[in-house]
A and B are shown apart, each in its own frame.
Chain A
Amino acid sequence: MGIIIKFVLKNIWEKKLRTLLILISVMLSSALFFATEALSDTAKDLFIERMKVYYGTADLLIYATHNSPSNFFYKHQAERFANDLEYIVGSIETGGNLIVNQETLRLGVKGFTLPELQKMNPFFLVAQRKLYPFQGNKIILSKRTAEEYDLKLGDYLEIEVFGAKRKFLITALAEPVGPFQYDGQNINAVVPLDTLATILNARGKVATLYLKVRDPARKGELIQKLSEAYPRYQVRETITGREMEEYSKSLTTSFQMMGTVVLFMAVYIIYTSFKVITRERLPVIGTFRSIGATRKMTSLVLMIESIMYGVIGGLLGCGLGIGVLYLIMLQILPEFLRNVTPTLRYSPPQLGAAFVLAILIAFISSLVPILKASRIPVKEIILNSNSKPKEKKRWQIITGMVLIGAAASLPPFVPFRLFLPTSMILIFASIIGFILLIPTLTNLFLTVFARVYLYLFGNEGILAAKNLRDNKGILNNISLLAIGISSLLMINTISISVAQEVTNFYRDGKFQIWLWTWQADRGTEALLRKIDGVEATYGIYTANYVEITNLKDRINLVHGVNQYKYLDYWAINVDPTLLAELDTGRKILISNTLRERWQVQKGDFLVLKMTRGERKYQIIGFFDSLMWNGSFALMADRYLKLDMNRQYYDDLFIKTNKDPAIVSTTIKEQLKRRSPYVSTMAELEAENIQANASMFRVMRGFSLLALVIGTFGVFNNLIISFLERQRSLALLRSIGMSKNQSIKMFFIEALTGGLIGGIIGVLSGSLLISISPLIMKAVAADIPLHHSLSLYLSSILAGVLITVTASTSPAFKSSNLDIVTALKYE
Chain B
Amino acid sequence: MPPIIETFKLCKTFKLGEVEVEVLKEIDLTINEGEFVSIMGPSGSGKSTLLYLMGGLDKPTSGRVRVKEVDLSIMTDKEESVFRRRTVGFVFQFYNLVPNLNVEENIMLPVLLDGKPLKAYRNRLDEILETVGLADRRRHTPRELSGGQQQRVAIARALINEPDIILADEPIGNLDTKTGMGIMALLQKINQVQGKTIVQVTHSMEAAAYGQRIINMRDGKVEE
Contacts and interface: CB of A to CB of B under 8 A. Distances in A.
A466 B52 CA distance: 28
B77 interface: yes
A739 B77 CA distance: 7
A459 B96 contact: no
Interface string B114-134: 111010000000000000000
Nearest to A469: B100
Contact of B57 (A467, A728, A740, A820): A820
Interface string A735-768: 1111111000000000000000000000000000
B85 interface: yes
B65 to A, nearest CB: 15
Contacts of B82: 736, 738
A437 B185 CA distance: 48
Given A459-B112, A467-B100, A820-B57, A737 B81 contact: yes
B84 A735 contact: yes
Contacts of A469: 100
A466 B58 contact: no
A727 B96 CA distance: 8
Interface residues of B, number: 36
A731 B100 contact: no
Interface residues of A, number: 27
A738 B99 contact: no
B96 A823 contact: yes
Contacts of A463: 109, 112-113
B71 to A, nearest CB: 19
A735 B109 contact: yes
Nearest to B84: A736
B94 A462 contact: no
A458 interface: yes
B58 A741 contact: no
A735 B110 contact: yes
Contact of B100 (A471, A733, A735, A739): A471
A752 to B, nearest CB: 15
A662 interface: no
* B58, B84, B115: residue with the most chain A Cβ atoms closer than 10 Å: B84
B64 interface: no
A732 B109 contact: yes
Contact of B113 (A467, A471, A728, A732): A732
A739 B81 CA distance: 8
B145 interface: no
A741 B100 contact: no
Contacts of A467: 100
Interface in B58-112: 58, 77-78, 80-86, 89-90, 92, 94, 96-101, 105, 109-112
Contacts of A470: 100
Interface in A304-330: none
Contacts of A820: 52, 57-58
Nearest to B87: A736
Interface centre among A459, A466, A734, A735 (most CB of B within 10 A): A735
Contact of A819 (B57, B99, B111, B161): B57
Looking at chain A's contact residues, the main secondary structure is helix
A471 B101 CA distance: 11
Given A466-B105, A823-B96, A735 B113 contact: yes
B220 to A, nearest CB: 16
Contact of A738 (B81, B92, B97): B81
A820 B12 CA distance: 14
B54 to A, nearest CB: 12
Contacts of B81: 733, 736-739, 741
B157 interface: yes
A740 B82 CA distance: 12
Nearest to A815: B77
Contacts of B99: 728
Contact of B78 (A462, A728, A733, A740): A740
B58 A819 contact: yes
B84 to A, nearest CB: 4
B28 to A, nearest CB: 22
A280 interface: no
Interface in B178-217: none
A727 B98 CA distance: 9
A731 B81 CA distance: 12
Contact of A823 (B78, B92, B158): B92
Contact of A737 (B55, B58, B101, B113): B113
Contacts of B84: 733-736
Contacts of A733: 81, 84
A731 B98 contact: yes
A826 interface: yes
Interface of A: 458-460, 462-463, 466-467, 469-471, 727-728, 731-741, 819-820, 823, 826
Given A459-B113, A739-B81, 5 more contacts: A462-B112, A728-B96, A735-B85, A736-B114, A820-B52
Interface of B: 52, 55, 57-58, 77-78, 80-86, 89-90, 92, 94, 96-101, 105, 109-116, 118, 157-158, 161
10 contacts: A459-B111, A469-B100, A728-B96, A731-B96, A734-B84, A735-B84, A736-B85, A739-B77, A741-B113, A823-B96
Task: Rank and list the top 4 A-B pairs by shortest CB-CB distance, nearest first.
Answer: A736-B85, A738-B81, A736-B84, A459-B112
